[in-house]
């Protein structure tokens, strides 16, 4: 890249109304310069700093490079920037300049990056021990607001050490520093240390509201971490307004082991036998990229050596770089997600962050941006919506890096269901899992249009899961025939897709349709286990039976259940109740609603007797297995179905 002509750059800056008299150098990259200028002009921060160069570096810290990158632009590497050596003399601010007052002023204005810079400038001027203590106490507070938790930890623990040495601090310095330290530990996810320090706050000041609330909050998070006890109802309420949730991470009856034949060499196995619906992992993202409506699938950029179009993923990689720079103790956790030869501490990422070592103040990290991008592209998850039963359907809903979820291998028909609430992901067992059995999730479902592309990215030699092996049992001719039968120009294809045309069907027509279905069934080889195209075919048949001029209720029930079974539902019919053995792997979020339909059809066919009640309770059990719902939450979650199907009375009777 050509070196810029400094004189021309300075001239451009002057014309943009900037005071360049103190400029001793600039950070320059031609394609970034216009954006940089715009940012500098809108920031008055530079007035406060002795050199323009520092203002620029502050701006880069404040805005990150995200705002400076052209959309879909090149991958950012260190050498994108060129540093022009000092050529212009610098006037220094006087030694007695009051940086504390300046920092406090910025803090009040919520210009936090500038406040940090002002306190840091003050510290660089060799202040008295008392002033040093004050500057660091104040800087800790700003770092907390910036979520620079490791820096807040360094500052507040420094203050406490100085107070122990006898350095005089302002009033309540110890209380303030202890509280800031407790909050720093909480942000770093050192929950045990956070609890210890919130307790100290309460010891120092029994009336401290922040101390008492902090203690209660950490006790709750530790309960979540240790017992897997979450108040999902409350969390779903919070998710309506918060993009990030405050929860403790949980690792249930699973562990990380070395696993031959898996890229990366690791995988998760069950540590005991597990029932369907059991909570296995809850994992809050360590970084997120915000939803980005500007993301455009037709415009890919190079990201970690692969093509990507979700700008949110790019942002999460940028934030990941900032995070490990801020807290180097996270670096091995992150890098262990992407290493050809796993380090001795291969299971690091699976350990509780609570147990990791605390960072040293002079720790530094080697940022490998391409590797960080790779980590985000291989492991990034799409951000979730506001309730457990609703996926986020936005094109680029935002992305997140979840340390533990990143260790699960893929299976097209996995033994877990994955859910999420905003920046929190969780998995539950979908089926009973035996001790020692691998626990997998799916990176992309068999019916998804982008499946070949996503699978090729992970498995250059093809996916070898049970579903893929099963799928290979059909000959190309069988697959072609099935496609032809279900094509949008066939009668069957139309019925499957155009629900609205069903109402005028006569029972005769419906019965003729059984023949079409049998033809689709015959396109599957006899040994085939997974027959996913039948999910929609059976569902359409059930609807047709229900909405035909004379409803055929027993067939409506039969095909609704057949559709659920094709999607993976397994139940045990135990006389008094229907026990859920396996949750469907396709459309699991419509499983409760489908079971309620079965109950209501039975009520129409036989009256609200034992059978209708058993299937209503099965719907409740499914809601419990999928979302940990109690009865009230089950009824509330499915209120619309209950009303539409006229199930209020039946539900009242079944209430448990």
Ligand X SMILES: C[S@@+](CC[C@H](N)C(=O)[O-])C[C@H]1O[C@@H](n2cnc3c(N)ncnc32)[C@H](O)[C@@H]1O
Instruction: Using CB under 6 A, list all residues that contact ligand X.
Output: 261-267, 378-379, 406-407, 409-411, 458, 465
Let me know how long the chain is: 656
Using Cβ positions, the residue closest to ligand X within the complex turns out to be 263
Which CB, 25 or 265, lies closer to ligand X?
A: 265
Question: ∠335-338-341 over CA atoms, to 5°?
Answer: 100
Cβ neighbours around 400 below 10 Å, total: 29
Cα torsion angle, 395, 396, 398, 403, sign: positive
Least distance to ligand X, CB of residue 368, Å: 17
Which CB, 264 or 507, lies closer to ligand X?
A: 264
Least distance to ligand X, CB of residue 1, Å: 34
Counting Cβ atoms within 10 Å, is residue 179 exposed (0-12), middle (13-18) or buried (19+)?
A: buried
Least distance to ligand X, CB of residue 593, Å: 31
Which CB, 265 or 332, lies closer to ligand X?
A: 265
Which CB, 108 or 340, lies closer to ligand X?
A: 340
DSSP letter, residue 346: T
Which CB, 54 or 410, lies closer to ligand X?
A: 410
Least distance to ligand X, CB of residue 441, Å: 9
Which CB, 161 or 262, lies closer to ligand X?
A: 262
CA separation for the pair 109, 111 (Å, rounded): 5
- List helix spans (H) across 498-630: 507-521, 533-547, 553-566, 591-606, 610-627
Least distance to ligand X, CB of residue 434, Å: 18
Least distance to ligand X, CB of residue 262, Å: 4
Give the C-alpha distances (Å, rounded to integers) separating 122 from 50, 112, 221, 269.
12, 15, 38, 53
| Closest to 517 (Cα-Cα) out of 499, 537, 490, 544 | 537
CA separation for the pair 384, 426 (Å, rounded): 11
Written as six digits, the tokens of 403 are 């340390």
Which CB, 266 or 531, lies closer to ligand X?
A: 266
Least distance to ligand X, CB of residue 409, Å: 3
CA separation for the pair 627, 578 (Å, rounded): 18
Contacts of residue 525, defined as CB under 8 A and 6 or more positions apart, other chains included, come to: 473, 474, 475, 478
Residues 596, 641 contacting (CB under 8 angstroms):
yes
Least distance to ligand X, CB of residue 267, Å: 6
Least distance to ligand X, CB of residue 595, Å: 31
Distance of CA 43 to the CA centre of its chain: 32
Q: In what helix (H) or strand (E) does residue 113 lie, and over which residues does it extend?
A: helix 112-124
Which CB, 96 or 461, lies closer to ligand X?
A: 461
CA separation for the pair 16, 143 (Å, rounded): 32
Which CB, 169 or 289, lies closer to ligand X?
A: 289
Which CB, 465 or 562, lies closer to ligand X?
A: 465
Written as six digits, the tokens of 557 are 């029930």
Which CB, 13 or 427, lies closer to ligand X?
A: 427
Least distance to ligand X, CB of residue 330, Å: 17
Least distance to ligand X, CB of residue 260, Å: 10
Helix axes 173-187, 209-227, angle to 10 degrees: 20
**Do strands 424-429 and 279-284 pair parallel, antiparallel, or not at all (unpaired)?**
antiparallel
């Amino acid at each position: 890249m050509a070196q810029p002509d400094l004189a021309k750059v300075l001239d451009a800056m002057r014309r943009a109304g900037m005071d360049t008299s103190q400029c001793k150098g600039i950070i320059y990259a031609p394609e970034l310069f216009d954006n940089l200028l715009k940012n500098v002009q809108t920031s008055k921060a530079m007035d406060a700093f002795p050199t323009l160069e520092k203002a620029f570096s502050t701006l880069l810290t404040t805005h990150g490079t995200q705002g400076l990158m052209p959309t879909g632009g090149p991958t950012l590497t260190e050498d994108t920037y060129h540093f022009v050596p000092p050529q212009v003399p610098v006037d220094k601010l006087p030694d007695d300049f009051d940086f504390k007052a300046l920092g406090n002023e910025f803090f009040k204005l919520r210009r936090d990056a500038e406040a940090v810079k002002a306190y840091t400038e003050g510290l660089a001027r060799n202040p008295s021990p008392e002033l040093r203590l004050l500057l660091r106490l104040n800087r800790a507070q700003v770092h907390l607001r910036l979520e620079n938790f490791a820096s807040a930890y360094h500052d507040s623990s420094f203050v406490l050490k100085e107070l122990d040495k006898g350095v005089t601090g302002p009033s309540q310095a110890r209380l303030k520093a202890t509280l800031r330290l407790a909050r720093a530990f909480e942000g770093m996810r050192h929950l045990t240390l956070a609890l210890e320090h919130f307790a100290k706050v309460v010891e120092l000041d029994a009336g401290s509201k922040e101390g008492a609330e902090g203690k209660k909050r950490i006790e709750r998070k530790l309960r979540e971490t240790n017992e897997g006890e979450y108040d999902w109802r409350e969390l779903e309420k919070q998710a309506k307004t918060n993009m990030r949730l405050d929860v403790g991470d949980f690792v249930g009856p699973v562990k990380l082991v070395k696993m031959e034949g898996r890229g990366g060499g690791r995988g998760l196995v069950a540590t005991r036998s597990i029932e369907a619906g059991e909570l296995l992992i809850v994992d809050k993202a360590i970084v997120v990229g915000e939803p980005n409506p500007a993301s455009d699938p037709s415009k890919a950029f190079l990201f970690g050596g692969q093509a990507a179009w979700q700008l949110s993923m790019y942002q999460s990689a940028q934030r990941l770089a900032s995070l490990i720079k801020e807290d180097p103790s996270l670096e091995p956790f992150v890098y262990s997600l992407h290493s050809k030869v796993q380090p001795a501490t291969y299971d690091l990422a699976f350990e509780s962050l609570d147990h990791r070592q605390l960072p040293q103040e002079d720790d530094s990290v080697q940022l490998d941006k391409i590797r960080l991008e790779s980590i985000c592209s291989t492991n990034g998850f799409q951000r979730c919506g506001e309730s457990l039963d609703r996926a986020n359907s936005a094109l680029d809903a935002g992305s997140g890096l979840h340390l533990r979820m990143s260790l699960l291998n893929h299976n097209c028909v996995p033994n877990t269901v994955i859910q999420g609430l905003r920046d929190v992901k969780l998995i539950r067992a979908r089926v009973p899992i035996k001790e020692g059995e691998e626990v997998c999730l799916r990176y992309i479902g068999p019916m998804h249009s982008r499946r070949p592309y996503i699978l090729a990215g992970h498995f250059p030699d093809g996916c070898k899961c049970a579903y893929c092996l099963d799928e290979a049992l059909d000959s190309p001719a069988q697959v072609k025939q099935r496609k032809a039968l279900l094509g949008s120009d066939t009668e069957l294809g139309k019925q499957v897709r155009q629900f609205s045309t069903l109402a005028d069907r006569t029972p005769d027509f419906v019965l003729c349709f059984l023949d079409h279905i049998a033809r689709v069934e015959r396109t599957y080889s006899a040994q085939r286990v997974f027959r996913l195209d039948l999910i929609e075919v059976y569902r359409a048949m059930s609807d047709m039976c229900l909405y035909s001029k004379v409803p055929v209720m027993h067939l409506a029930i039969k095909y609704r259940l057949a559709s659920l079974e094709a999607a993976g539902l397994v139940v045990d019919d135990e006389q008094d109740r229907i026990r859920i053995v396996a949750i469907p792997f396709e459309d699991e979020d419509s499983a409760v609603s489908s079971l309620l339909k079965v109950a209501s059809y039975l009520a129409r066919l036989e009256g609200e007797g034992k059978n209708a009640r058993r299937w209503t309770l099965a719907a409740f059990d499914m809601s419990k297995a999928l979302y940990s719902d109690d009865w009230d939450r089950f009824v509330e979650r499915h209120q619309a179905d209950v009303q539409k199907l006229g199930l209020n009375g039946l539900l009242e009777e079944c209430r448990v």
